[in-house]
Amino acid sequence: MRGEVSVRSERAFWKTRIRATTTNPLNLLHTFFARRSLIVTEMVFEGVLNDLEPSEIVAALSALIFQRKSAVDMGNDLPEGLLGCCGKMKIICENIGKLQNMFGLKVVAGDFVEKNLKFGLVGVVYEWASGVDFKDICVLTDVQEGDIVRCITRLDELCREVRNCARMIGNPTLYVKCEKASVMIKRDIVFAASLYVA
């Protein structure tokens, strides 16, 4: 636990990137899922989501929600900005892993990336947010339908958290984009009453 606190204290954004906000930086951490909090917060402060379209933002965030292995890669036919964001996410995750190791936590940077980022549904979520029918996105992956539904429904919650973080640090553009992303994924069978989300 002391090692984790040291890692959080070391990150430059705790002092320099929050600037005028009166919000305690640690409160930002507590609004996110514990294990992904540093990754998401660093993504927001580094602005890796700022230039993406809403559909691309929610697709990138799916890598933090989806935790199963998939034999189907996210592919290279996705928008360049989205692919670039995924690359930056890996770098952020690797740096956090190295930092944790520096402060005495038994973390291997490569393992930390593999454990916390799964890109298997990035393409699927991008297509869903772009308006593609559910039956059509299912053929893009070997992931079961129930896992797709669970990932997308949980993404709505993560979008709200990122949106709130954007509001607290004064990033209205990201706030609006995350709001739009939530609207884009909340449709049809995925958000209907279902045994998949029970």
In a domain, 194, yes or no: no
Minimum mean pLDDT among 12-26, 61-75, 93-107, 133-147: which range?
Answer: 12-26
pLDDT tens per residue, range 125-168: 999 999 999 999 999 999 999 999 999 999 999 999 899 889 98
In a domain, 143, yes or no: yes
Minimum mean pLDDT among 16-25, 74-83, 100-109: which range?
Answer: 16-25
Residue 124 above 90 pLDDT?
Answer: yes
In a domain, 195, yes or no: no
Which has the closest alpha carbon to 156: 175, 134, 182? 182
- pLDDT band for position 41 (50/70/90)? confident
In a domain, 74, yes or no: yes
Domain that holds residue 153: 2-11+47-129+138-186
In a domain, 198, yes or no: no
In a domain, 177, yes or no: yes
In a domain, 178, yes or no: yes
- pLDDT band for position 89 (50/70/90)? very high
This prediction has a pTM of 0.80
In a domain, 21, yes or no: no
Number of structural domains, the chain? 1
- pLDDT band for position 16 (50/70/90)? very low
Residue 22 above 60 pLDDT?
Answer: no
Residue 122: CATH number of its domain? 1.10.3380.30
- pLDDT band for position 75 (50/70/90)? low
- Residues 6+ away with beta carbon under 8 Å from 193: none
